[in-house]
Chains A and B, each alone.
Chain A
Amino acid sequence: MIQTKGQFQSAKRFLFLVGDIGQFTLRFFREGFHKPFEWKEILKQCGEVGYRSLSLVGVTAFIMGLVLTIQSRPTLVEFGAESWLPAMVSVSLIREIGPVITALICAGKIGSRIGAELGSMRVTEQIDAMEVSGTNPFKYLVTTRVLATSLMLPLLVIFADTIALYGSFLAVNIKGAVSFQLFFNQVFETLEFSDLIPSILKSFFFGFIIGIIGCYMGYNSKKGTEGVGKSANSAVVVASLMVFILDLIAVQITDLFYEL
Chain B
Amino acid sequence: MNYKTKERENVIEIRDLKKSFGDNHVIRGFDLNVKDRESVAVLGQSGSGKSVLIKCVIGLITADEGTIKVLGKAVEQLNQVELDELRTDIGFLFQSNALYDSMTIRENLEFPLRRLRRDKSKAEIDAAVQEALEDVGLFHTLNLMPSELSGGMRKRISIARTLIVQPKIILYDEPTTGLDPITAGEINQLMNKVQEKYKTASIIISHDLDCIKVTAQRIVILKNGINYKEGTFEELKNSEDPWVSAFFNT
Name A's B-contacting residues (CB within 8 A): 36, 117, 121, 124-126, 128-136, 140
Contacts and interface: CB of A to CB of B under 8 A. Distances in A.
Contacts of B58: 132
A139 to B, nearest CB: 9
A126 B100 contact: yes
Contact of A128 (B94, B99, B112, B118): B94
B96 A124 contact: yes
B164 to A, nearest CB: 9
Given A125-B94, A128-B60, A133 B101 contact: no
B174 to A, nearest CB: 12
Given A126-B100, A129-B94, A131-B87, 13 more contacts: A36-B115, A121-B100, A124-B98, A124-B101, A126-B98, A129-B100, A130-B111, A133-B112, A134-B86, A134-B88, A134-B112, A134-B115, A135-B112
Contact of A135 (B60, B92, B96, B116): B116
Interface string B94-111: 101011111000000001
B9 interface: no
Interface residues of B, number: 23
A125 B90 contact: no
Interface of B: 58, 60, 84-88, 90, 92, 94, 96, 98-102, 111-112, 115-116, 118, 161, 165
Nearest to A38: B115
A148 to B, nearest CB: 15
Contact of A134 (B85, B94, B99): B85
Contact of B96 (A117, A125, A131): A125
B87 A132 contact: yes
Nearest to A140: B115
A129 B95 CA distance: 11
Contact of A133 (B96, B116, B118): B116
Contacts of A126: 98-101
19 contacts: A36-B118, A121-B100, A125-B94, A125-B96, A130-B111, A131-B87, A132-B90, A132-B92, A133-B87, A133-B88, A133-B111, A133-B112, A133-B161, A134-B88, A134-B115, A135-B111, A136-B84, A136-B115, A140-B115
A125 B99 CA distance: 9
Contacts of B99: 126, 129
B60 A133 contact: no
A102 to B, nearest CB: 26
A129 B84 contact: no
B113 to A, nearest CB: 9
